[in-house]
Amino acid sequence: MSDDILTVKNLKKHFVIGQEGTINRKPITVKAIDGISFNVREGETLGLVGESGSGKSTVAYITVGMYRPTSGTITFRDQDLFADSKGRPLALKKEVQIVFQDPGSSLNPRRNIKQILELPLRIHQPDKDRLHEIIRLLDLVDLPPEYMHKYPQSLSGGEKQIVAVARALATNPSLIILDEPTSALDVSVQGKVINLLIRLQREFNLTYLFITHDLSLMRNVASRVAIMYLGKICEVAEAAEFFQNPQHPYTQMLLSSIPVVSEEEEAAKPEKIISSGEIPSPVNIPPGCSFHTRCPYGMDICKQIDPVMVETGTGHVVRCHLFEQPQEVLQPATSAAPSPT
Amino acid sequence: MSTPCLLEIKDLRVEFKVYGGVLKVLDGVNFHVNAGEKVGLVGETGCGKTTTMKAVLRILPMPPARITDGEIFFKGQDILKMRDRDLGKVRGSGISMVFQDPTAALNPVFTIGEQLGAVVQHSSPANRRLSKRQIREKAVIPLKEVALADPERLLDSYPIQLSGGMRQRVCIGMALATDPELLIADEPGTSLDVTIQDQVLRLLNGLVESKGTSVVLITHTLGVVRETTDRVYVMYAGNMVEESPTRKLFAEPLHPYTQGLMQAVPKLTGGGIAEGIPGRIPSYLDPPPGCRFHTRCPHVMDICRRQKPPYFKADEDHEVACFLYAPHLDQQSDERAAL
Amino acid sequence: MAQQVKVEEFAPAITHQRVRELQRQNRKENLGRAWYKFSRNPLSIIGGTTVSIILFLAIFAPFVAPYPEHAKPFTDFANASQPPSWQYPFGTDEIGRDILSRVIFGFRFSLSMGAVVLSIVVPVGVLLGLVAGYYNGTWVDTIIMRITDIFLAVPPLILALAIASVLEPDLFHSMIAVTLMWWPWYTRLVYGLASAQRNEFYVASAETTGASTPHILFGEILPNMVSPIFTKISLDMGWVIIIGSMLSFVGLGVQPPKPGLGTMVASGAKYLPDQWWIAMFPALGIVVVVLGFNLLGDGLRDMFAAEEA
């Protein structure tokens, strides 16, 4: 599809973290990502939601090039991001940038803002007047040029994160991955950073892959949302549809647990599904559907067979046995599809 | 106050000595918790909430920190004047604290059983003489109370083998093992997943019901406070700016800072992202005169720049430290005296 | 404070000036803060002062020592074995040389030993540690660290003896011995630090931006290790001086009649306890210089300590 900037096909990432057994040493594998496929359209903000162990950060790290996939492909504008085994070419590194979650550790404490912003400029635009560019970047994110000589420690959390955004912009990328960009910030600062991101998106026609666990934030930022659980995608839908008509039991559980501040929001939440038990560790993923240990609607089939993605509405896909019609697995569900309420 | 206060903080002032001068962090903090109450303390990073609670337990690092004024009473006794021996009795069985980062609060080289056992052993003189097996039996109880599966096996595990949520619950269990009358929980859900946070908060609620423990819940997430507390304090830059029963605070926040916070939270029902509160928290080295919030306040008046607002009663149990709610402008001199 | 500089309107000329101004301001503030942290502990100041004085003495020894010619071959049996007096503050040794002057010249040998050894050991050790740490888990790491382990396994004094038996014993050769056994400690230190650092997000950021490996090693990781490395250097000065003195004491280092501190202790030891000053003052010299560097090292550690936000 020509207006998909990023296409992920059947991506898997397994980490071998050790070995068990003394004689027949079996490797212990963490299946951080276990077969996911999704597209990101140019100019949109795709939200990726999930709790710990879901693999959402791993998706981010693979996309930006920190890890290589175990199998599967990621293509950026029809170019395989991992075609070159020696490492990603600079031209592609320039296009895909990332803003990390913790501004405290994503900015080198021993480098001042000028040096931090200078690095990408030096690599990708060696000819331009760097000082000029740095001032321009700071201006883009509403920071005064005097900040150049400050070190990250003297900046507030919000300002640090804004510098991280400026750094991501320095290479003129097309796709920016935002890994929990405001999770470490106070709510009164969050708005500034998010609104800045939205403004920059419009100004530079950027595409965002926005990762967060904060569903209320996601509601107001993403155009489409995908939710992950233990390395697999459970549901994908347009934002409004995702929140008004959540179909996967995990989505409903998550939505019903979030703390909100007003009565209207309380009413908008699905009925309370009390989560019981622990989140399984990605080392020991339960057989069948990985969510069946906590699912209130678990059926026998859930313990044995992993469900596949089924389309239940325009652009709305769910991976759950509740939505599978026998022998019609890959066809769009009709209005007779059961939805638990 | 007819009900006896379990914990009462009066006009607490704390300073920190650093390069460049003195950070006047706490600027006259007033706070109280009654028996059996769940009180929330809401404030953002750097407002002084953790400092306040550490002052209560007297675990502030005293060379840089200094308590310059104020009193803290626990069950009528003055904590700041207590000797170490008596303080030891207050810590643990009187007041217990669950810290923000469960990974840092647990010693990675000892098993859960060893750490819990140590807490149990020192929680009362009688326990000190118990045998290892008896202590182990006692240590299982808090783990069961916090709904952890397979507590026996957990006792032999190391913190690194547990997930974040389990570690947090172990910390809560450890805090409860001493059977405290007051539990201070510092951001108990912040590093946890939403579904686990939900479980933990529900757990805290249940414990209060069953044991009558009072809880102080410190957090920067408004939504958490709404579901789990009876009364809320809002704190900004070393001052309590609003105090109200929870329901009232959310229905009608009065202080401009509280209003700003409520607006800044993204809503599940949509509506975009509010710009947030402009500006930054003031420097503690050189705090602004008058109301510490006035530099960011959309309703700032002349008097706000000159005088620090005392508490005004907006309602019988709803107090706001803001001149917008001063009953009558020429009663200011009385209010000043009341400071 | 937050002025929006519209770059298209203002020529960069103004900003360049501002930039230099800001740089100067920043540097001043950083120095001020560094001094504040250093001076919290009065012992650090004592250490720093001691080291400065000794450095001065060592550099200007020929002008500062009362009898500079006594550091060269010299005899004056008439004034031999004099106890400390106004004329000879540290007394004279068994052939009449002024001990104070010889101690001052002795500092020269000690400091130069330290400086030469460390100026080789530190770059080599740090570089190897950086590379091994950054490539942690690969064959590069294995090779470098196993070589390091081998060097660490050789007993230093045996190594010095071996070198001495092949080459003639003198200061230069004992420096070679100490250098060979010292570099692994820096590699070990930096290896541990670099292995931890490489997982930091700012390193990942530099990698995903496309920075070259030398930049990542020296521009991103190394600046964060400055504190432990400099502290170690300061403490190591003390150690190298002690080891050098030890080697001189057993006859492998500075050869008599040159005034190495260890050498003087060795030759003066046979006159204890009656002519105690012959051995005592050189020994005290060793103590003072080592203590000075240790206290300075503590101060440096405090100075580089991370700021609490």
Q: Which residues of B touch A268 (CB under 8 A)?
A: 268-269
Tell me whether B277 touches chain A (CB under 8 Å).
Answer: yes
Q: Count each helix (H run) and each strand (E run) in chain B, helices first.
A: 13, 12
Question: Are residues B232 and A261 in contact, defined by beta-carbon separation less than 8 angstroms?
Answer: no
pLDDT at C8: 44
Tokens of B16: 């920190």
Tell me whether A195 touches chain B (CB under 8 Å).
Answer: yes
Domain boundaries, position C161: 42-304
Cα–Cα dist C252/C262, whole Å: 10
| Residue whose structure tokens are 């290589």 | A68
* CA distances (Å), origin B323, targets B248, B273, B315, C255: 20, 29, 15, 84
Tell me the per-residue pLDDT of A169-206, one tens digit each, with 9 for 90 and over. Answer: 999 999 999 999 988 888 888 888 999 999 999 999 99
Left if phi > 0, otherwise alpha if psi is -120 to 50, otherwise beta: which for A53? Answer: left
pLDDT at C221: 93
Residues C75 and C199 in one domain: yes
> What angle is formed at CA B58 by the lines to CA B53 and CA B62, rounded to 5 degrees?
110
**Residue C212 included in any domain:** yes
Q: Which residues of B touch A277 (CB under 8 A)?
A: 149
Domain boundaries, position A255: 4-315
Of all residues in chain C, the percent with pLDDT exceeding 90 is 34
pLDDT band at C11 (very low <50, low <70, confident <90, very high): very low
Mean pLDDT, rounded, for A292-316: 86
pTM over 0.95: no
Q: Is the omega angle on the peptide bond into residue C273 within 30 degrees of 0, that is, cis?
A: yes
pLDDT at B3: 55
Q: Cβ of C209 and A120 within 8 Å?
A: yes
pLDDT band at A83 (very low <50, low <70, confident <90, very high): confident
Mean pLDDT, rounded, for C161-166: 78
Cα–Cα dist A60/A68, whole Å: 12
Mean pLDDT, rounded, for B125-151: 82
Residues C226 and C125 in one domain: yes
**Residue A109 included in any domain:** yes
* Residue type, position B231, single letter: R
Residues C30 and C156 in one domain: no
Chain B residue whose CA is closest to C32? B19
Q: Is the dihedral of CA C38, C39, C44, C50 positive or negative?
A: positive
pLDDT at A168: 93
Tell me the per-residue pLDDT of B186-216, one tens digit each, with 9 for 90 and over. Answer: 888 777 778 888 888 888 888 778 888 899 9
Backbone angles phi, psi at B8, to 5 degrees: -135, 125
Q: Cβ of A131 and C209 within 8 Å?
A: no
**Residue A334 included in any domain:** no
**Count of domains for chain C:** 2
- Which residues make Cβ contacts (< 8 Å) with residue C304, sequence separation at least 6? C226, C227, C230, C231
Q: Is the omega angle on the peptide bond into residue C257 within 30 degrees of 0, that is, cis?
A: yes
pLDDT band at C2 (very low <50, low <70, confident <90, very high): very low
The answer, yes or no, to whether residue A329 has pLDDT greater than 50, is no
Q: Cβ of A261 and B194 within 8 Å?
A: no
Burial class (CB in 10 A: 0-12, 13-18, 19+), C141: middle
Q: Strand ranges (DSSP E) for chain A? A: 4-20, 26-41, 45-49, 71-76, 79-80, 96-99, 175-179, 207-212, 224-229, 232-238, 309-313, 316-319
pLDDT at C50: 93
Tell me the per-residue pLDDT of C231-255, one tens digit each, with 9 for 90 and over. Answer: 899 888 888 888 888 888 888 888 8
Nearest CB partner across the interface for A187, out of B195, B227, B265: B265
Chain A residue whose CA is closest to C205? A106
The answer, yes or no, to whether residue A335 has pLDDT greater than 80, is no
Chain A residue whose CA is closest to C211? A123
Nearest CB partner across the interface for B194, out of A186, A192, A257: A257
Q: Cβ of B44 and A258 within 8 Å?
A: no
Suggest the residue from C21, C201, C225, C227 to mutate for an interface test with chain A (most A CBs closer than 10 A).
C201
pLDDT band at A153 (very low <50, low <70, confident <90, very high): confident
**Residue A336 included in any domain:** no
Tell me the per-residue pLDDT of C25-60, one tens digit each, with 9 for 90 and over. Answer: 878 888 888 888 888 888 989 999 999 999 999 999
Return the number of CB contacts < 8 Å for A and C.
97
The answer, yes or no, to whether residue A305 has pLDDT greater than 50, is yes
Q: Which of A305-314, A324-333, B246-255, C125-134 has the lowest mean pLDDT?
A: A324-333
Q: Please, which residues 24-63 of chain A have a Cβ atom closer than 8 Å to chain B?
A: 51-52
| Residue whose structure tokens are 């001063």 | B326
| Residue whose structure tokens are 């050098």 | C244
**Residue A10 included in any domain:** yes
pLDDT at A277: 66
How does the average pLDDT of chain C come out, rounded?
A: 85
Tell me the per-residue pLDDT of B9-68, one tens digit each, with 9 for 90 and over. Answer: 999 999 998 877 888 999 889 999 998 889 999 998 888 888 998 898 888 888 888 889
| Residue whose structure tokens are 């260890």 | C262
pLDDT band at A336 (very low <50, low <70, confident <90, very high): very low
The answer, yes or no, to whether residue C9 has pLDDT greater than 60, is no
Q: How many residues does chain C have?
A: 309
Burial class (CB in 10 A: 0-12, 13-18, 19+), B125: exposed
The answer, yes or no, to whether residue A60 has pLDDT greater than 90, is yes
The answer, yes or no, to whether residue A34 has pLDDT greater than 70, is yes
pLDDT at C10: 41
Residues C34 and C139 in one domain: no
Tell me how close the Cα of B105 comes to any Cα of chain C, in angstroms. 19
Cα–Cα dist B54/B71, whole Å: 14
| Strand duo B95-98 + B182-186: pairing | parallel
Q: Which residues of A touch C223 (CB under 8 A)?
A: 108, 110-111
Tell me whether A114 touches chain B (CB under 8 Å).
Answer: no
Strand partners, B16: B23, B65
* CA distances (Å), origin A154, targets A149, C54, C97, C205, C236: 10, 38, 59, 20, 33
pLDDT band at A339 (very low <50, low <70, confident <90, very high): very low
Backbone angles phi, psi at B10, to 5 degrees: -120, 115
Give the DSSP H or E segment for B270. none
Mean pLDDT, rounded, for B155-178: 85
SS3 B111: coil
pLDDT at A326: 59
pLDDT band at A149 (very low <50, low <70, confident <90, very high): confident
Tokens of A214: 């904060």
SS3 A234: strand
Tell me the per-residue pLDDT of B220-241, one tens digit each, with 9 for 90 and over. Answer: 888 888 888 999 999 999 999 9
Suggest the residue from A188, A215, A265, A294 to mutate for an interface test with chain B (most B CBs closer than 10 A).
A188
Cα–Cα dist C66/C81, whole Å: 17
**Residue A254 included in any domain:** yes
pLDDT band at C94 (very low <50, low <70, confident <90, very high): confident
* Residue type, position B255, single letter: H
**Residue C309 included in any domain:** no
- H-state helical runs in A65-112: 90-95, 103-106
Nearest CB partner across the interface for A139, out of C7, C25, C306: C7
Rounded to two decimals, the ipTM of the complex is: 0.83
Domain ranges within chain B, ordered by starting residue? 252-339
Q: What is the DSSP letter of C7?
A: T
| Strand duo A232-238 + A224-229: pairing | antiparallel
Q: Which subunits sit against A, judged by 3+ Cβ pairs under 8 A? A: B, C
**Count of domains for chain A:** 1
> What angle is formed at CA A218 by the lines to CA A214 and CA A224, rounded to 5 degrees?
140
Cα–Cα dist C296/C231, whole Å: 8
pLDDT at A332: 43
Cα–Cα dist C162/C154, whole Å: 11
pLDDT at C308: 43
Count CB neighbours of B335 within 10 A.
17
Cα–Cα dist B214/B212, whole Å: 6
Q: Count each helix (H run) and each strand (E run) in chain A, helices first.
A: 12, 12
Question: Are residues C263 and C110 in contact, defined by beta-carbon separation less than 8 angstroms?
Answer: no
Tell me how close the Cα of B90 comes to any Cα of chain A, in angstroms. 33
Nearest CB partner across the interface for C22, out of A64, A148, A153: A148
pLDDT at A3: 73
Higher pLDDT, B313 or C190: C190
Tell me how close the Cα of B74 comes to any Cα of chain A, in angstroms. 31
Nearest CB partner across the interface for A65, out of C5, C19, C208: C208
The answer, yes or no, to whether residue B329 has pLDDT greater than 60, is no
Cα–Cα dist C56/B189, whole Å: 59
Tell me how close the Cα of A285 comes to any Cα of chain B, in angstroms. 15
pLDDT band at C1 (very low <50, low <70, confident <90, very high): very low
Left if phi > 0, otherwise alpha if psi is -120 to 50, otherwise beta: which for C173? Answer: alpha
Residues C12 and C65 in one domain: no
3-state helix, strand, coil in chain C (%, to 5): 75, 0, 25
| Spatial CA neighbour of C238 closest among C180, C181, C281, C298 | C298
Tell me the per-residue pLDDT of A245-265, one tens digit each, with 9 for 90 and over. Answer: 999 999 998 888 888 888 888
The answer, yes or no, to whether residue C4 has pLDDT greater than 50, is no
Tell me the per-residue pLDDT of C253-300, one tens digit each, with 9 for 90 and over. Answer: 888 888 888 889 988 888 888 888 888 999 999 999 999 999 998 888
